[in-house]
Chain A
């Protein structure tokens, strides 16, 4: 049926209206590709200018004096802060989001599940600046108690040392990012869990498995790649998050061994906070750091999409 339709469509494609319309739609598709390419090219041009004038080492310098003459700047601290805060966010958000997704797909009564998944989708739409405001004015003053406790028992590790200053640190940023990426990871994971073949689950139940055993033996193995790609989508969000970090973090261009004390910086936060004071050299330097962020998120998101695509093919042939 469809093949005859296609052939008929090919025959009618001679008409001018058809030619114009198909050219338009193909043109917009190509325009999207051009925009993507242009983003990379334009950022790369400005970044090349900046890096060529950089008196420090772009990768290893612990400094950001791009407006000085000669300019000295490096992304070491930014890379460290971005990766550390995102890793903290992932370590918290992935298990919790998996739990919530299981709750929605397998544990909650149906009506609660429907309402709650609707709520999760709504929360994904809350603007990041509002998370930032809440984080800075509500969360930060309340983290001190927890950090004191961590310092008391784990302070000897150095990572959890805490001096009682306001908790505007990478750890708080990580926790806030975890809260922010929960909805997206949850909603993707939930869909994957729902696709687990009913027959597998019923077979496990028929063999006398408890609910947890059903999940462990059928749902989780089936959804492993789905959970991984959902987490990487969340990671992509966390890496590029700007406003929540800019409001919560008290930045400095030093790597502090303690995650609980203020200091550090991330790519996006650094761009947003330094932009207003930046001269033309400073802007080029910020664009150079933006290019690194762009490549980082491209890598993470591309990998996530490839995993999803491969899984789709796999489950497509299996079905």
Chain B
């Protein structure tokens, strides 16, 4: 009697335990929906004679999203349906972004690899006409290395010292102004830096085109990156280290040189290498200031040089198959150069990181 009574009240007023948990789609539902929508897209594609597989994929994606959203709304309610929709859109963003980037890398490797060999790396373009096969990038490689080296000789000391000023000495309005303008300087288009050196060095002081002029423009682009990364690293150095050194009577400048900088050296090296990678790929200022040549010119201070990114641009603009092949091959070498710098930078960061935090 009493048992039956309890049962009816449960069914009537209290909610049974099973319904406390809102209804959810079974775990296999998304998989099944995915298979279903792909099958649907294939059928539509075959029946409708859609040639592009991109269209098949788009149809499958739209059907999948719509079906998931509709089903979830019916079974789980509006809030969970919106949640599922948002998840799908976020995943879609991820996939959409991955496609062109993967394609870029794949295309460069696929079209570049067959033409990169020892000959390509050790010969210049001297005497090679644009439609002829052969020729190489030695002159461009040489130019890039020299220009980047000179740019870093200018930019690294100024960048390091500025960062030291901002962290160790800088107070008040000057430091604030420098911080703000360093940030703004990171956003200067590379072509504007090129135009500046053009108007100052070539048009006003009347020097000719040279690798050095290009290196100056590159150093303007490099400085703010070095300042920012070094500043971040110096801020991480514990104040106790400085205080201990100062308390032992060590002058402040020696404290900075012997204690602060060595502690942060790993991070600083990482930042410098990332900056190098960034400027090694700059083309615009090189077009304006270094001008480009087909011959090997080892003298940075005199006469036109070439550089890898400029070489890619020149070969592209010739518009012949042989030149396209060279452009892709040089692009591959350039990507490899930049990626090696990047990976080395991260390796240095990882290698030095535990030491700095200890």
| Structural contact, B200 and A102, CB atoms closer than 8 A | no
Q: Which A275-319 residues sit within 8 Å CB-CB of chain B?
A: 275-276, 280, 283, 286-287, 290, 293-294, 297-298, 300-302, 304-305, 309
Contact with B along A225-245 (1 / 0, CB 8 A): 000000001001101111100
Q: A240-B188, A268-B189, A305-B184 are in contact. Are A26 and B338 (CB under 8 A)?
A: no
Task: Verify if A134 is at the interface (C-beta below 8 Å from B).
Answer: yes
| Structural contact, A275 and B189, CB atoms closer than 8 A | no
Q: How many pairs, one residue from A and one from B, have CB atoms within 8 Å of each other in the complex? A: 281
| Structural contact, B104 and A131, CB atoms closer than 8 A | yes
Task: Verify if A15 is at the interface (C-beta below 8 Å from B).
Answer: yes
A8 to B96, CA, bound (A): 57
Task: Verify if B150 is at the interface (C-beta below 8 Å from A).
Answer: no
Q: Which A167-196 residues sit within 8 Å CB-CB of chain B?
A: 179, 182, 186
Task: Verify if A140 is at the interface (C-beta below 8 Å from B).
Answer: no
Q: A9-B252, A133-B327 are in contact. Are A297 and B313 (CB under 8 A)?
A: no
Query: Which of the four size classes fits the interface of chain B?
Result: 35 or more
Across the interface, B191 reaches (CB within 8 A) one of A28, A35, A95, A242, namely: A242
| Structural contact, B283 and A287, CB atoms closer than 8 A | no
Task: Verify if B101 is at the interface (C-beta below 8 Å from A).
Answer: yes
Across the interface, A29 reaches (CB within 8 A) one of B92, B166, B283, B328, namely: B166
A35 to B170, CA, bound (A): 19
Task: Verify if B137 is at the interface (C-beta below 8 Å from A).
Answer: no
Tell me the minimal C-beta distance from B244 to chain A in angstroms.
Answer: 10
Chain B residues near A222: list those with CB within 8 A: none
| Structural contact, B316 and A24, CB atoms closer than 8 A | no
Stretch at the interface among A58-66, A153-161, A205-213: A205-213
B327, closest chain A residue (CB) = A133
Stretch at the interface among B27-35, B62-70, B173-181: B173-181
| Structural contact, A272 and B284, CB atoms closer than 8 A | yes
Task: Verify if A130 is at the interface (C-beta below 8 Å from B).
Answer: yes
| Structural contact, A271 and B191, CB atoms closer than 8 A | yes
Tell me the minimal C-beta distance from A83 to chain B in angstroms.
Answer: 15
Q: A5-B242, A32-B158, A36-B184 are in contact. Are A290 and B284 (CB under 8 A)?
A: no
A226 to B96, CA, bound (A): 23
Instruction: Report A's interface with B, CB cutoff 8 A.
Output: 1-2, 4-5, 8-9, 12-13, 15, 17-18, 20-22, 24-33, 35-36, 38-39, 42-43, 45-46, 95-100, 102-103, 106-108, 116, 118-119, 121-123, 125-134, 136-139, 145, 179, 182, 186, 210-213, 215, 233, 236-237, 239-243, 246-247, 268, 271-272, 275-276, 280, 283, 286-287, 290, 293-294, 297-298, 300-302, 304-305, 309
Q: What are some 21 contacts across the A-B interface (CB < 8 A)?
A: A5-B247, A12-B251, A21-B257, A29-B166, A38-B196, A96-B96, A98-B93, A107-B87, A125-B274, A125-B338, A125-B339, A129-B331, A138-B104, A210-B82, A210-B83, A213-B83, A236-B187, A240-B189, A242-B284, A247-B316, A301-B183
Instruction: Report B's interface with A, CB cutoff 8 A.
Output: 52, 79-80, 82-83, 85-87, 89-94, 96-97, 100-101, 103-104, 107-108, 157-159, 161-162, 164-166, 168-170, 174-175, 177-178, 180-193, 195-196, 198-200, 203-204, 220, 223-224, 227, 239, 242-243, 246-247, 251-254, 256-257, 274, 277-278, 280-284, 287-288, 309, 312-313, 316, 324, 327-328, 331, 334-335, 338-339, 342, 346
